[in-house]
Structure 1
Amino acid sequence: MILLIAGLLGVLTGWLDLNELNQASQVVSELFIRMLKLISLPIIFFALVSTLSGMGEASDVKRLGGQVLKYTVITTLLAATVALALYLLIAPAGSVNTLTAPPELSETSASYWSYLVGVIPSSFVEPFYTHNVMGVLFLALLLSAAIITLENKHKSVLHSFFDSMFAAIMKMTGLILKLMPLAVWAFVNLFIHDLQNQKILQDLALYLLCVLLANIIQAGLILPMFLKFKGLSPWQTMKAMWPALTVAFFAKSSAAALPYAVESAEKTLGVQSKVARFSLPLCITVNMNACAAFILITVLFVSQSNGVTFSPLELFSWILIASIAAIGNAGVPMGCYMLSSAFLAAMGIPLQLLVIILPFYALIDMLESAINVWSDSCVTAMVNADLLPDMILDGEGSDRHNEKITQVDHH
């Protein structure tokens, strides 16, 4: 409500076009952008390292974790791929030709090689002061992989350190977000002041359509297809997990829905306890299908609306970037939005349009949280189906599983 009031006030002051207010808006927006840039790359780095360094290493954990991560990576990459396909089809950023390649093949090849070489930094601190997002992602993945292979005594210390650093960065983010109403006023005031025509409003509507369609296709088509392939009923799975989906929607947090998700999976869906209690907490942390779609569409839309063009290689590389970022995202409110702003700030893209998107993000965040929990539920159900034969051999019969599925059918 406060953000809505701030936005409406920005519309009013922008329409009045007072010089003093315009200057104040410039100062406020510049300060806010500087603060976002300050935390942008640390958010990406510590989110990924704190998440990935906490992976287990015992044989049972490896077996369960391997299955969970397999489905997480596949579904997240598919979500980002669908998002890119819709983005190119709908073209919300207007007439920018996103697939125009340089005319000379040699130049294209050279730029592609330079782009790939630039992913690997020459020093640990280089990507942070050069704002090399891909370099930061590479360092985070490399360091996480190294930490996972350490002995438990070293691994636990490092995981605790990076987890605490991420918590501290999120506290800083929370303090900065307290200034969000003032920033919304400033950005909307400047936006209205600079608005020359209605084209940007049309583009914004197409952007929102693109985000919603990407989420609907992922939740209503792709994930049910995975369940069908495993011989599971998408309708019965959704029915069983409905309490958790409802909590995630209204709380705007997949983490808040975790207790309900575990209870629904065990008692109603018939998932084995050790699967539900391992898979769902892990999925809440790393399985963010809706976040991958939002990050990809938002970063491309805001970038291209500010005149940035992407080569075909750069466009398709965003499938991987958005997927990695989503996997490293925390299941907290506005997590996807903050990661998108971090990428844009690190790329030096003006954030005015991103703040214009903010009032609409409240509804998007609710939908995305529910879809993320729905994806978590689907992954958990598929992992349970894959491991059920092994559990039967281990003495964990299928009678309980069949009994729960029968209960769902008669609910």
Structure 2
Amino acid sequence: MQNKKSLLFLLGAIFLGIITGFFGQELLLKGAEITAALFMNFLKLLSIPIIFLSITSTLSGMKSQLEISNLGKRVFTYTLLTTVIAAAVGLLLFFIMQPSAKISAAEAVQITKAPTDTYLSFLWKIVPSNIVQVFLENNVIGTAFIGFIMGIAATYLPEDNRISVHQIFSSLFKLILKVTEGIAHLIPLGTWAFTALMFKDLSHTNSFKHLGLYLLTVVSANLVQGFVILPLLLKYKGISPVKLAKASFTALSLAFFSKSSNATLPVTLKCAEKEAGIHPKVAHFSLPLCTIINMNGCAAFILITVLFCSTIHGHVFGLLDLGIWVVLSTLASIGNAGVPMGCFFLTSMFLIGMDVPLNTLGLILPFYAFIDMIETSLNVWSDLSVTAIVDQECTHLEALPVKE
């Protein structure tokens, strides 16, 4: 009953958001902007501590490095598998739909060159030089790195010290999770605000000419991955994709409208544990890690967009080239987390390296916010799918040994 009531509130918020976005007065739209900004700030405020405390408390609670290795190996395996498949699906749909045949380079508009140091400067922050600054800058990968180092180091402490460390971080983590329970009451309000702003932007967009097939290709790649590939993988592992989707509905909705898998993490953890019944130790280890490295939607976007822009400007790709681009898209998406408009900037830097003009990206930019919504939902759905599969392969004993 509670789930049905929450669903009705959420659907009502979406409906009101659509009305506000298309027909809302300036005062209502301004209220939506303020509400969305405050909601995102609240989510971001919690996301960094949750990533750090979740990883640290989980690892420090494990009794051996072998347990960490076994659990981590499974998460990385399924993350890599789903991301490679996502890129391959994007490649297949690109050749089926051939979107670049419908647009010429002369019809594109010029955009400002993306800053070439955005991604590289971010990579330097993987190993931060200041433990305080990493939290102040919302450096997700740096935060995770510190959490992994401290959590793994705790397993080398004498047993009584390790237990003490685990209790401290575990208690802090539970405290943060208590705070996040308040998010459940604010989600409809945030959904209204995000929906209103999205439909406000769509009502002022008139750049669909010649670009529809490209957008259809990108969106279709994400939908095939989300509605076909991941459910088949779940079904193969003996997990009901329908039940997992129902349990994850709140997190997937928030991911769509917030466009941030990091900010959605508190709700994703709650859905995984409370609704899907995933073991807390698996959820607390897998979901923060997947939030950083599991980017199915980004892999498809990078591959399709690079091929789309470059073929318009006369580039020809052989089979070996296409195979290399599947690998490059996969690796780039894994390292994408935390960069604002990361997929867009990464794609532009690939095109710069190929001497492809960036003017075609000017047509894509107005639609990127909508693409980002779908990608984020897919990323969170993939995170939950990977976590559910890993949980299925593990026993539910206190020490959580992994089945061989």
- What is the TM-score with the length of structure 2 in the denominator? 0.57
SS where residue 179 of structure 1 aligns? Answer: helix
Whole-angstrom CA distance in 1 between matches of 2:161 and 2:341: 31
Shift of 1:291: 5.6
User: Where do 1:300-311 residues align within 5 Å?
Assistant: none
Shift of 1:177: 3.9
CA RMSD of aligned residues (A): 5.2
1:173 corresponds in structure 2 to 180
User: Can you list the C-alpha shifts for 1:122-150, whole angstroms capped at 9, x where unaligned?
Assistant: 11111111222221121111111111111
Q: Is the 8 A contact 2:291 2:380 kept in 1?
A: no
Rg larger in 1 or in 2? 1
1:6 to 6, 13, 34: 13
User: Can you list the C-alpha shifts for 1:260-315, whole angstroms capped at 9, x where unaligned?
Assistant: x9xxxxxxxxxxxxxxxxxx7754554569966995145779999xxxxxx99797
Whole-angstrom CA distance in 2 between matches of 1:79 and 1:289: 17
In structure 2, stretches of 5+ residues that fail to align are 1-7, 101-112, 249-270, 304-324, 345-367, 396-400
Q: Is the 8 A contact 1:40 1:346 kept in 2?
A: no
Whole-angstrom CA distance in 1 between matches of 2:293 and 2:162: 32
Number of residues paired by the alignment? 305
SS where residue 157 of structure 2 aligns? Answer: coil
Whole-angstrom CA distance in 1 between matches of 2:288 and 2:228: 11
Whole-angstrom CA distance in 2 between matches of 1:290 and 1:216: 24
1:137 corresponds in structure 2 to 144
2:160 corresponds in structure 1 to 153
User: Can you list the C-alpha shifts for 1:293-346, whole angstroms capped at 9, x where unaligned?
Assistant: 995145779999xxxxxx997972542677xxxxxxxxxxxxxxxxxxxx5789
1:117 corresponds in structure 2 to 124
Quick one: structure 1 residues 122 and 218, their matched pair in 2 at CA, closer, same or farther if it must change by over 3 Å?
A: same
Percent of pairs with identical residues = 26
Whole-angstrom CA distance in 1 between matches of 2:384 and 2:172: 25
Shift of 1:56: 1.2
2:388 to 373, 377, 388: 373
User: Can you list the C-alpha shifts for 1:364-389, whole angstroms capped at 9, x where unaligned?
Assistant: 98897567434533566x965x4xxx
User: Where do 1:370-409 residues align within 5 Å?
Assistant: 372-378=387-393, 384=403, 386=404
User: Where do 1:316-335 residues align within 5 Å?
Assistant: 316-319=331-334
Shift of 1:215: 7.0
Q: Is the 8 A contact 1:219 1:371 kept in 2?
A: no
Quick one: structure 1 residues 3 and 161, their matched pair in 2 at CA, closer, same or farther if it must change by over 3 Å?
A: same
SS where residue 123 of structure 1 aligns? Answer: coil
Whole-angstrom CA distance in 2 between matches of 1:180 and 1:204: 29
2:260 corresponds in structure 1 to none
1:210 corresponds in structure 2 to 222
Q: Is the 8 A contact 2:126 2:145 kept in 1?
A: yes
1:79 to 82, 87, 100: 82
Quick one: structure 1 residues 90 and 54, their matched pair in 2 at CA, closer, same or farther if it must change by over 3 Å?
A: farther
Quick one: structure 1 residues 172 and 355, their matched pair in 2 at CA, closer, same or farther if it must change by over 3 Å?
A: farther
Quick one: structure 1 residues 129 and 367, their matched pair in 2 at CA, closer, same or farther if it must change by over 3 Å?
A: closer
Quick one: structure 1 residues 115 and 369, their matched pair in 2 at CA, closer, same or farther if it must change by over 3 Å?
A: closer
Q: Is the 8 A contact 2:86 2:299 kept in 1?
A: no
In structure 1, stretches of 5+ residues that fail to align are 96-102, 225-233, 262-279, 305-310, 323-342, 387-411
SS where residue 178 of structure 1 aligns? Answer: helix
